[in-house]
Structure 1
Amino acid sequence: MKLIHRFAYYFGGFAIGIVILIFFLSGKKTSCAYGPEARTLKNIRNKAHVYSEETLQFLKSEKLDTTVISKMLLDGDVLFDENTRGFDSCKIYNIEAKVLEENLKMTVENCEDTATIKKIERVFEK
């Protein structure tokens, strides 16, 4: 069999496989969160959010709403070197993101059923 025929069979099978894959995965909420940062943010996004009083005060004083938190959970960077393990097997994550031209840092207590946003603060560049 000539080399050109081998390539034709390979790419033909590959194209058929891609079409079948697109057919089966269309309409489903599939995602590729393979990295630890993407998995952590997705895990927090999928839980019920509870806001501390300090967080609500910050949002009110800065005239922001909870969409800022949603944006931070989509585009933020998890600072794994600052993470700690809280009480009752809850993990505490620090997430930093640039939202509305400001650098913000959020502390989240990620428990089994809920994610509590403990505080949000401005981060000034060094």
Structure 2
Amino acid sequence: MKFSQRLAYYLGGLLLGTIIVVYFLQAKAESRNVNFCYFPNCRVLQDLRSKPMHYSPESEAILKENWVTLQDVKNCMQYGDVDFSISNKSFEHGKIYFIKGKNTKGEPITVSMVNYSDKVILKEIKKD
């Protein structure tokens, strides 16, 4: 068998195998609502969003001031940036994370959250 024929068989099999693998992986991801999230910032935010959120008395008082809303906090948890230089430290049997984001007026805010194994506590919200 000539080299060109062997190369054609090899490339045809490789193409067919790739199509089958992509089809099955795509169907698996769609059936489970899987998000591919491998970067540290994305993984931390996804973990925080997946747990029920409780509020500290300080955060409830700040939310009543009406310069920041709960939707702003949720947007920070979706699109914010985790400051790892001061985050991921042990705090009251959990880990504390500081997330930088913006409120609806475009003002920069920092949200601090304590991550436990079963819940997340919104500790504090600050203007930057």
- Counterpart residue number, 1:23: 27
How many equivalent residue pairs? 122
- Counterpart residue number, 1:112: 117
Which residue of 56, 59, 65 corresponds with 2:60?
56
Task: Give deviations 1:71-95, integer Å, cap 9, x for gaps.
Answer: 111111111111231122x111111
Give 5+ residue unaligned stretches, structure 2: none
Measure how far apart 1:97 and its partner are.
1.1
Which residue of 84, 91, 96 corresponds with 2:95?
91
Which residue of 74, 78, 83 corresponds with 2:78?
74
Q: Is the 8 A contact 2:81 2:100 kept in 1?
A: yes
Q: Distance in 2 between matches of 1:36 and 1:105?
A: 18
Give 5+ residue unaligned stretches, structure 1: none
Q: TM-score, normalised by structure 2?
A: 0.83
Q: TM-score, normalised by structure 1?
A: 0.84
- Counterpart residue number, 2:42: 38
Which residue of 109, 115, 127 corresponds with 1:122?
127
Between Structure 1 and Structure 2, whose CA radius of gyration is higher? 2
Measure how far apart 1:2 and its partner are.
4.5
Q: Distance in 2 between matches of 1:38 and 1:20?
A: 25
> Once the two structures are aligned, what percentage of the paired residues are identical?
24
Q: What amino acid maps onto 1:41 in structure 2?
A: L
Measure how far apart 1:25 and its partner are.
2.6
